[in-house]
Chains A and B, each alone.
Chain A
Amino acid sequence: MSGDKRLLYCHCAYAKVVPARVKHELLEQLGDSDGDFEAVPDLCEMSARKDPALADYAGDPELRIVACYPRSVRWLFHAAGHELPQEVELHNMRESSAAELSQALGLMTDRESGA
């Protein structure tokens, strides 16, 4: 996986707004990659519950989030009392294909990296 930036994936588990194919393909590619990652069931639910983990994510400017529209993700963090640093990369599964996201995130499987 490119760089050592922390990666957070949102599965949008409680709604069907993220295309199922995109999220499942990407989740599979994340698993196949050689990097560490974190996956949460639903960032919306975490925001409504003011989940303490959001403070930890918002404290990391090196973070990359794969979820939905960046405007939603930023204001969801704000609603929970945390501002996401401007440097945080936001990737949108509602608008991009799994291949585009995989490339943007630099996901490398063992096979692709020749390991």
Chain B
Amino acid sequence: MKSTKLADQANSQELRVLLRERRDSGRLESSRRHELLAQLLEAGHPVERRSSDCARPAMAVLQVGDDEEVVTPGTPWIRIAAMTAEQVVTNLADLRSQRELSDPGQWTPWFPVIDFGLCTNCMQCLSFCLFDVYGADENGQIQVQNEDNCKTNCPACSRVCPEVAILFPKYGKGPINGDVVRKEDIQKESMKVDISALLGGDIYSSLRDRSDTARKRFSTERDESKALLERKRCLKELKESLDIPDEVLMTLPSAGEIEERTRRAKEKAERRRAASQTIADQEASRPAPSPEEWDI
């Protein structure tokens, strides 16, 4: 089920603060300013530092010097010269709760981003991901639709993309982190795609075989710990080679599930395409409005 956390987050216009600091007098000392900026950003507030006023709306103006207030309805001025960074951040937290804005940073922004310069729309990512992160638009084009369904720190779908087209900007290593895709990466990635290759064949049957072996061992030897160790060893191998978290490994789809998901995704895309076609046909067949309808 789709989490609502992302949709509930306040947007940057609601959280933005203006740090009004003149070029001459009325400036914060360097380390104080840096502490304030870092704390504001870590508390989820975009900051605009300006020496003059700004026409764009802000949640609050943080005023360093003793200039007179420029009255902007709904935008409080907070005189911060004598305040610590913590005090400023606490003031803003109070303001957020008065305005019933949710606290920023409740969701870790970990999700796939598609490089459409490389994507060939093969839909392998959509078929592979069990968490409905991917979908297709009305033209059948792959899309990331539910970012907040993605499992934090799981780059598994980038491993099945044959084109190295899936980025996780917060991933440690390239090219998945957005670093330039080199020829060697494509070669490496196409080997891997056979994620499979890692286990000497199809990943799904390998996993199944391994758990079958583990199950047999369990039933014959009645040695639960051995069976568990075998499973753990297999998962560790996958986890280390591919950085895939346990939670995802434990729920990898079977080949049958993949086929079923692909079929459902195609149907869904087809329905969306048909619906938009119907609307277009209705628009086209609708008679031109009469002067009365236009209220002329």
A residues with a Cβ closer than 8 A to B are 11-15, 17, 24, 27-28, 30-32, 34, 36-42, 44-49, 51-53, 68-73, 75-76, 78-79, 94
Contacts and interface: CB of A to CB of B under 8 A. Distances in A.
Given A69-B179, A71-B179, A72-B169, A31 B6 contact: no
B169 A53 contact: no
A31 B179 CA distance: 28
Given A11-B42, A13-B105, A75 B177 contact: no
Contacts, number: 133
7 cross-chain pairs, A with B, having the tightest CB-CB distances, nearest first: A72-B178, A69-B178, A72-B169, A45-B109, A44-B109, A11-B41, A48-B147
Nearest to B52: A36
Interface of B: 6, 9, 11-13, 16, 23, 28, 30-31, 33-34, 37-38, 41-42, 44-51, 104-105, 107-111, 113-116, 144, 147-148, 167, 169-172, 174, 177-181
Contacts of A73: 169, 178
Given A14-B108, A27-B37, A68 B46 contact: no
Given A36-B50, A49-B11, A51-B11, A72 B177 contact: yes
Contacts of B16: 53
Contact of B12 (A17, A53, A78): A53
B113 A72 contact: yes
A17 B179 CA distance: 13
Most buried by A among B16, B147, B171: B147
Nearest to B116: A78
A48 B178 contact: no
Given A13-B44, A31-B49, A51-B12, A71 B6 contact: no
B7 to A, nearest CB: 8
Contact of B49 (A37, A42, A47, A52): A37
